[in-house]
Chains A and B, each alone.
Chain A
Amino acid sequence: MIEQLGHILIQAFSHALSIFANKLIPLVDAGGAAEAAGNVPLSTVYITLIVLAGLGIVFGVALAIVAARFVVKVDPKVEKVRDTLPGANCGACGFAGCMGYAEAVVGNPDVAVSMCAPGKSAVAEKIAEITGKKAEKMDPKIARVFCQGGSSLSQRKFIYTGVMDCTAAVLAAGGNKSCEYGCLGYATCMRACPFDAITMSADNLPVISKEKCTACGKCVAACPKQVIELAVESKAVVISCHSRDKGADTKKKCQVGCIACGICVRTCPVDAIKIDNNLARIDHARCIVCGLCVKKCPTSAIHDYIPVRPKAFIDPAKCDGLDVCKKVCPVSAISGEIRSVHVVNQEKCIGCRMCEVRCPKKAISMVEAASGVVDNKPAKKQEPVAV
């Protein structure tokens, strides 16, 4: 059967090919090529063509059948989400590449839309639009320096005259700073930063630019003292100290170190601060960034990164005189009788937002004191932060 078919095909081909070959071969000027063509029997050429074409057809049909039988339907949303994603396959989301995240975010209702770190909130919003999920607010991170003991505020063990680099300095007995947890100040982080976001202050401490920092983590890796950490930018109240020495020892070595006195623990209205190993730490999940601890800390070890806090302002039209704000205010800045309009003393207000959160009538709003809406008094000066 196959041979018969072969013969018919060969006869059909031979005519066409003999014309083709007769015309082609004389055109090849080199004798070798003509000779080589002459040595190959023409039937081999036919058979080769037939076998290859036959195999091609068989495999083509087989693949077509397989593709039709085992078709996998892909949710068009997945494709859309994948096109939205940056396509870097960086794995920051925790899934295997952008495709993995696209499938997970479309298929699984528990996967958040905001997990793509390079895409930031713009991509999160687009994904939310495609999937119909709620876009949560992204919590951008920033590098924070956990040391305020610059050269004027801290003690030195010895004079270091080696290579002016922290990684070199740390090899000499852990660096020349008395406090073994503090910043050495030789600017290794500044040189590591690819975005020029770090500058050194006059007191030899790194200052991180809020605008330029991308939270890439290069400085965190570069610092031999682990003084720099990535933290959520909105949680702007930070205990800027890593000293686990006992309070008295810390005080000898540095004027602005955490001495674990526990005042902040007692002050915190939401119990977010705990002392562990002679060091107070803020649980940022609980912290409401009220800034009370900043005011109370005796050594100014707690740093408020909000430059000027807005003050509370009570809208007289909305206030029912329920007295909640007065009770809640930690600095007794609110006065007023029950069932009459209450007033905030702008001098005393520290902008902690406690009253704003608690007011059942939503009569309290935070107003930038400098904007002059409430009064023209300048904002209360921030306690000078030792840098």
Chain B
Amino acid sequence: MWGHVATIFVASALINNFVFSRYLGLCIFFGVTKKMETSVGMSFTFTAVMLISASLNWLIYNYVMIPYHLGFLKIVIFIGVIAAFVQAADTVMKKVAPALYYKLGIYLALIVTNCVILAVPLLNADENYGFFESLALALGSGLGFSLALIIMASIREKLELADVPRSFQGLPISFVLTGLIALAFLGFSGMITL
């Protein structure tokens, strides 16, 4: 069982990396990677929100939704849970860590409707994962997303100094780069078969 958990972790972080092979969560990906500082902060927030929302949703899915045959309500309920939890996290963070709040406040609001955050509980539900498998998927996806953010931020900081043609400056060259990194991530495919 633990082997399976480890497999899920590695697979979600590298092989099925949300940004580079599933093309999800791109708005945050391009939004925060202009600076290394914000992308590191975002990585922490994102992974933490992912872990907690995945475990909350797992509990609700397995102890409320399955017994009452409410599987068709997955999307509605998961979004509700995530929204409520992120709103609470937002309020707590404003009090406890104001500096972090002002850095990431905008992106916390973005997390509510982020597709990666919603995709993880949905995948967990579809695959009927156990609690630890769900956590592994959440942690793997979170760290994989963080990896993507940090790789991109370090490249984009260097890109500031590069001589990019005017029409490619900013977002276009970032998309080109993402495509190239995605090609590199294809190299992981086939490493583990789930």
Which A residues have a C-beta under 8 Å from some C-beta of B?
Answer: 44, 47-48, 51-52, 55-56, 59, 62-63, 66-67, 70-72, 96, 100
Contact = CB atoms under 8 A, between A and B. Distances in A.
Chain B interface residue bracket vs A: 20 to 34
A70 B102 contact: no
Contact of A70 (B69, B70, B95): B95
A379 to B, nearest CB: 51
Nearest to B101: A72
A44 B87 contact: no
A70 B94 contact: yes
A96 B102 contact: yes
Contact of A66 (B64, B73, B88, B102): B88
3 smallest A-B Cβ distances: which pairs? Answer: A59-B84, A70-B95, A47-B68
A62 B88 contact: yes
13 contacts: A44-B69, A44-B70, A47-B70, A48-B70, A48-B73, A55-B60, A59-B81, A63-B88, A63-B91, A66-B91, A66-B92, A70-B91, A72-B95
Nearest to A103: B102
B1 interface: no
Would you call the interface of chain A mostly helix, strand, loop, or mixed?
Answer: helix
Contacts of B84: 59, 62-63
A70 B92 contact: yes
B80 A56 contact: yes
A96 B99 CA distance: 12
A62 B86 CA distance: 12
A55 B77 contact: yes
A69 to B, nearest CB: 8
Contacts of B73: 48, 51-52
B95 A59 contact: no
B136 to A, nearest CB: 26
A274 to B, nearest CB: 33
**In the complex, which of the residues B68, B70, B98, B102 has the most CB atoms of chain A within 10 Å of its own CB atom?**
B68
Contacts of B192: none
A57 to B, nearest CB: 11
Contacts of A51: 64-65, 68, 70, 73, 77
